[in-house]
Amino acid sequence: MNATDNAVENASSSCERWEWGCAAIVVVAVFAELVIAGLHPPYNSAWNRWGPAVADALIAFGIIGEVLFGRMDGRHQTELRGRSNEKLAAAIIGVAEANARAAEADLKRAELEAKLAPRRLSPEAMNILARELQGQIPPIYLRVLGGVEARQYARDFFHVLSSVGLLEPDDSNLRTVAAPEWSGVGVYLPLLESAAPTVGASESVPPPWETADSDPLLRALKKADISASWFAGALAPYPIAAPEWKAGRRILIIGVKPLS
């Protein structure tokens, strides 16, 4: 049916009116039969001959009209219900899609907020670091290769490491170094003099006496769910050691927060 909703509604209303009209015809015809029966006209009179026949014809016409217009109205009502259901389904789908878009936007906003939020060590991470490192390694150096956020994050490490005596007491830890920014958390692993001095990512040659995976500091960071890169060898690209730096000591580097 290509008619508009208003046209279908008007047709349905018209059928209802015709139904009522046909019902009225039936009622009038029945009443007429009762009147004729009450008057009891003479046997051969026109009222006696044609009155009941006309009344019966009107009753039949009214009943047929009610049935026909009722069926037509039923089709129109079915069409209107179908269109209404289609609109309701489309509205439900639209709401669901809007909710999905809103949820996706909320998720992206939450991810962006998480990326931009300053890093902090949780109490659980602090406990893990203190438990895993106490008595396992000599004191280390702490350096900052980043801005305000990196320095704030480094203070959390300062508090937990100093609480278990793992910071060099004669060093100005938390020193911000004027060097290229480091991304994330880094660990400098010293090499023996006989080892080749290299600087780089995890492919760098580890100290002969241990691998990076077995290094207590890297292992503790991993258990605390802190991602850390490491390098070994020459420190020239990163002037993070003070003149009084003790050879063979680890250096924990706190860089800028990675956004990826």
- Name which of 60-69, 76-85, 191-200, 211-220 the model is least confident about: 191-200
- Given this model, what pLDDT does residue 171 score? 66
The residue from 100, 116, 132 where one domain ends is 116
Shared domain check, 111 and 153: no
Sheet of 141-145, strand order = 175-176, 141-145, 251-255, 185-189, 228-232
Indicate the pLDDT class of residue 175, thresholds 50, 70 and 90.
low
Shared domain check, 61 and 132: no
The residue from 116, 143, 161 where one domain ends is 116
Q: Are the CB atoms for 197 and 234 separated by under 8 Å?
A: yes
Question: 0.85 exceeded by the pTM?
Answer: no
Residues whose CB is less than 8 angstroms from the CB of residue 251 and which lie 6 or more positions away in sequence, other chains included:
140, 141, 142, 143, 187, 188, 240, 241
Shared domain check, 74 and 91: yes
Q: Are the CB atoms for 184 and 228 separated by under 8 Å?
A: yes
User: How many domains is the chain built from?
Assistant: 2
- Parent domain of 179: 123-255
Indicate the pLDDT class of residue 209, thresholds 50, 70 and 90.
very low
Q: Are the CB atoms for 98 and 104 separated by under 8 Å?
A: no
46-58 pLDDT tens trace: 777 777 778 788 8
Shared domain check, 140 and 250: yes
Residues linked to residue 188 through DSSP beta bridges, in sequence order: 231, 251
